[in-house]
A = this chain, B = another copy of it.
Amino acid sequence: MKDFNYYAPTEVVFGENSEEQVACLVSKYGGHRVLVHYGGKSAIKSGLLEKICGLLADAGIKYFKLGGVVPNPRLSLVHEGIALCRREGIDFILAIGGGSVIDSSKAIAYGVPYDGEVWDFYLGKAEPECCLPVASVLTIPAAGSEMSEASVITNEDGGVKLGYSNDMSRPKFAIMNPRRTFTLPPYQTAAGVTDMMMHTMERYFTHDDDMTLTDAIAESVLRTMKDCVFAVLKNPEDYRNRAQIMWGGSVAHNGLTGCGISDDWATHQLEHELSGMFDVTHGAGLAVIWPSWARYVYKENVSRFVRFAVNVMDVPNDFTDPEGTALKGIEATERFFRSIGMPTTIHELIGREITDSEIKEMVRKCSRGGSQSTGCFKVLHAADMEAIYNMAR
């Protein structure tokens, strides 16, 4: 097993009454002048934005609103946020929304105290020395950004989507009220569950077979998410199962499911090019890529895929045919994605045939012009990426 660090300092305040604590928590973590960062109409329509701002105002905390975050959050809005924070002397960023809003907040938080261009961090050209404190009122369980050190930003100039991770951006607190997720549409609910399952699976598919506690916890998360999603698709106001999914999204990506193992992330890398180019929902893109990735790589460690098939996907173990069992696990996963309304081909995802030149362009970006590989379970070079994209057409 590998040495590991586990660091998830975010204070999670979970439940129906959690929002009431927002002003107290902002003060506790040093916020005096707060950027309230959000997306679009749902935060306004639901009354959540107004409620949070009211609670801050009642506590005498000055706040400044910046909305307009879109899925695959844009660098231009990050720049706007940085300028606003500097102008108003903002010392705390409160994200109201899901992963896109939190990721945008993290990027702003890095950028405010930095003299150069914030995109440099995402390009790997610089490292931040500090950042503003970030926290969230979560409304979309999916990305796990509410406890993670990761953020992903899209530079509209060229449609380049890049991630950057640094522990200093781990949010100070996360307020999670499952009731706020009742209005999530089925597609977004399912894409969110796919994303959190993939955060677990990117770590689960490893050659380090000796961290049994991590494996057991990962399987717990995967089985729970798989079971709960059907209940909430049937009844969107099922508090109990909305709560499992909301908490599951955080557990899946706060580091716990990766302790002591080498993680992969090839599916995420391949998907980032898809959503970077076609502006599709990240979770749906993952459902498209994973089955092809799995079929392309499973022979690297058949027993791990058998374990997944049996322990997570409830495939009966055919002891005489491990490869057959492994493949049945992949098929069962694909069927599961379809059953919750996810696409499993690029055609379904983008609504038309993808062209060869578009695939080549994605490969070029994902491999940084052929110079960079991705993945760990099987190291993928440009030709491997192209093969997987073609399998997923």
* Interface contact B224-A247, CB-CB below 8 Å: no
* Interface contact B220-A224, CB-CB below 8 Å: no
* Interface contact B259-A14, CB-CB below 8 Å: yes
Determine whether A216 belongs to the interface, using a CB cutoff of 8 Å to chain B: yes
Contact residue among B3, B216, B224 (Cβ-Cβ distance under 8 Å from A16): B3
Determine whether A369 belongs to the interface, using a CB cutoff of 8 Å to chain B: no
* Interface contact A14-B6, CB-CB below 8 Å: yes
* Interface contact B5-A14, CB-CB below 8 Å: yes
Contact residue among B5, B7, B12, B239 (Cβ-Cβ distance under 8 Å from A7): B12
What is the interface of chain A, defined by CB distance below 8 A to chain B?
1-18, 210-213, 216-217, 219-221, 223-224, 227-228, 239-240, 243-244, 247-248, 251, 256, 259-260
Contact residue among B6, B17, B239, B240 (Cβ-Cβ distance under 8 Å from A12): B6
Residues of B within 8 A of A15 (CB): 1-4
Q: Can you report 17 residue pairs joining A to B where beta carbons are below 8 Å apart?
A: A1-B15, A2-B15, A3-B16, A3-B17, A4-B14, A4-B15, A5-B11, A6-B12, A8-B8, A14-B259, A14-B260, A212-B244, A213-B220, A213-B251, A217-B217, A217-B251, A247-B259
Q: Which chain B residue has the least Cβ–Cβ distance from A209?
A: B240
**Which of A6, A10, A12, A251 has the most C-beta atoms of chain B within 10 angstroms of its own C-beta?**
A6
Residues of B within 8 A of A213 (CB): 220-221, 224, 244, 247-248, 251
Number of copies of chain A assembled together: 2
Residues of B within 8 A of A4 (CB): 12, 14-15
> In the bound complex, how far is the Cα of B256 from the Cα of A8, in angstroms?
12
Contact residue among B8, B217, B228 (Cβ-Cβ distance under 8 Å from A212): B228
> In the bound complex, how far is the Cα of B226 from the Cα of A216, in angstroms?
13
* Interface contact A247-B228, CB-CB below 8 Å: no
> In the bound complex, how far is the Cα of B261 from the Cα of A156, in angstroms?
45
CB of A147 to closest CB in B, whole Å: 9
CB of A149 to closest CB in B, whole Å: 12
- The 10 closest A-B CB pairs, nearest first, are A3-B15, A216-B220, A9-B9, A6-B12, A7-B11, A213-B224, A210-B240, A213-B244, A4-B14, A220-B220
CB of A5 to closest CB in B, whole Å: 6
Given known contacts A212-B227, A251-B213, is B9 in contact with A243 (CB within 8 Å)?
no
What would 8 more interface pairs be, CB under 8 Å, given A14-B259, A217-B220?
A3-B16, A6-B11, A6-B14, A14-B260, A210-B240, A213-B224, A216-B220, A217-B217
Residues of B within 8 A of A6 (CB): 11-12, 14
CB of A28 to closest CB in B, whole Å: 11
Residues of B within 8 A of A240 (CB): 1, 210
* Interface contact A224-B228, CB-CB below 8 Å: no
Q: Which chain B residue has the least Cβ–Cβ distance from A15?
A: B3
> In the bound complex, how far is the Cα of B18 from the Cα of A327, in angstroms?
39
CB of A218 to closest CB in B, whole Å: 9
> In the bound complex, how far is the Cα of B244 from the Cα of A1, in angstroms?
10
Q: Which chain B residue has the least Cβ–Cβ distance from A240?
A: B210
Residues of B within 8 A of A223 (CB): 216
